[in-house]
Chain A
């Protein structure tokens, strides 16, 4: 059975997805104005396609997939964020890639530091990652999606998504922890700064628990 082209019905489905959609758009685009535009464009596209959606389909996954595709189409000729190969080479030596999930803070440091971050600091941290990593990490942190769902929305194989998620969130933690605590440039900091073309120190050497 297919959906009807009823705006009110569409809005009922959209309401619980809107926060995740806007947050994802914000981390991808980096500005609230661009994020609102992206969400509006996605909404219009999704509404046009809504009558073809089966009633048993997952609206959230479908809508977020349209959002990702819309962003990719609008930015096809741009390369937002660092080059993926350079960034991956730089983060290869970072503790906690792949499966290890090495904690980089001790005690209550993470709670104190991370919960005091403002939106600009968070968006800056996301912007230091290649777009593919940014997408996956945004979907992971903004909603309660499992690996399969994130891979489906991001349009990449499950194992690729898994590797990028683990690497991406370790890199985010390193970037954010360093941005709050300052400190001297470590090997990771300088190499990552070169990779994304900035002079600013991004993080200090990890303090492994």
Chain B
């Protein structure tokens, strides 16, 4: 039987980066989600941090491969 103590806000904040990247262990993920379900403040912080990373990822992924590069690579092979 799992007797892990519920997380407090500080424990969730320390794991927030790993939570956003889905790199927590199954137990840590469960405890984090349980805390977010009952803590609006931590949930809001989490959602805002998630949104920032998502927006930054979208901006960075706008880099386009230059026209002609695939053909240029192909010519050299």
Measured between beta carbons, the chain B residues less than 8 angstroms from A111 are: 51, 55
Q: Is B8 an interface residue (CB 8 A)?
A: no
- Which residues of chain B (13-62) have a CB below 8 Å from chain A? 13-18, 20-21, 23, 44-45, 48-49, 51-53, 55-62
Q: If A47-B77, A141-B60 touch, does A103 touch B55 (CB 8 Å cutoff)?
A: no
- Which residues of chain A (1-48) have a CB below 8 Å from chain B? 7, 10-11, 14-15, 18-19, 22-23, 26, 32, 36, 39-40, 43-44, 47
Rounded to whole angstroms, the CA-CA distance of A21 and B8 in the bound complex is 41
Interface residues on A, range: 35 or more
Q: Is B74 an interface residue (CB 8 A)?
A: yes
Q: Is A114 an interface residue (CB 8 A)?
A: yes
- Which residues of chain A (80-116) have a CB below 8 Å from chain B? 98-106, 110-111, 114-115
Is there an interface contact between A110 and B51, defined as CB atoms closer than 8 Å?
A: yes
Measured between C-beta atoms, what is the minimum distance from A59 to chain B in Å? 15
Rounded to whole angstroms, the CA-CA distance of A14 and B63 in the bound complex is 17
Is there an interface contact between A101 and B49, defined as CB atoms closer than 8 Å?
A: yes
Q: If A141-B60, A172-B56 touch, does A22 touch B74 (CB 8 Å cutoff)?
A: no
Rounded to whole angstroms, the CA-CA distance of A142 and B58 in the bound complex is 9
Q: If A14-B73, A19-B63, A98-B14 touch, does A103 touch B48 (CB 8 Å cutoff)?
A: yes
Is there an interface contact between B56 and A102, defined as CB atoms closer than 8 Å?
A: no
Measured between C-beta atoms, what is the minimum distance from A54 to chain B in Å? 20
Rounded to whole angstroms, the CA-CA distance of A111 and B51 in the bound complex is 8
Q: Is A122 an interface residue (CB 8 A)?
A: yes
Is there an interface contact between A114 and B15, defined as CB atoms closer than 8 Å?
A: no
Measured between beta carbons, the chain A residues less than 8 angstroms from B17 are: 98-101, 165-166
Q: Is A169 an interface residue (CB 8 A)?
A: yes
Give the residue of A22, A99, A169, A173 whose beta carbon is less than 8 angstroms from that of B69: A22
Query: A residues engaging B (CB < 8 A)?
Result: 7, 10-11, 14-15, 18-19, 22-23, 26, 32, 36, 39-40, 43-44, 47, 98-106, 110-111, 114-115, 117, 119, 122, 138, 141-142, 146-147, 162, 165-166, 169, 172-173, 176, 209
List 17 additional A-B contacts (Cβ < 8 Å) besides A11-B70, A101-B20, A166-B17.
A18-B69, A19-B63, A39-B73, A99-B14, A99-B18, A101-B13, A103-B52, A110-B51, A111-B51, A114-B52, A114-B58, A114-B59, A142-B63, A169-B56, A173-B52, A209-B44, A209-B48
Contact sample, A vs B, 5 pairs, CB 8 Å cutoff: A18-B73, A43-B73, A102-B49, A110-B51, A146-B23
8 tightest A-B CB contacts, nearest first: A103-B48, A7-B77, A101-B16, A114-B55, A99-B14, A23-B63, A141-B60, A110-B52
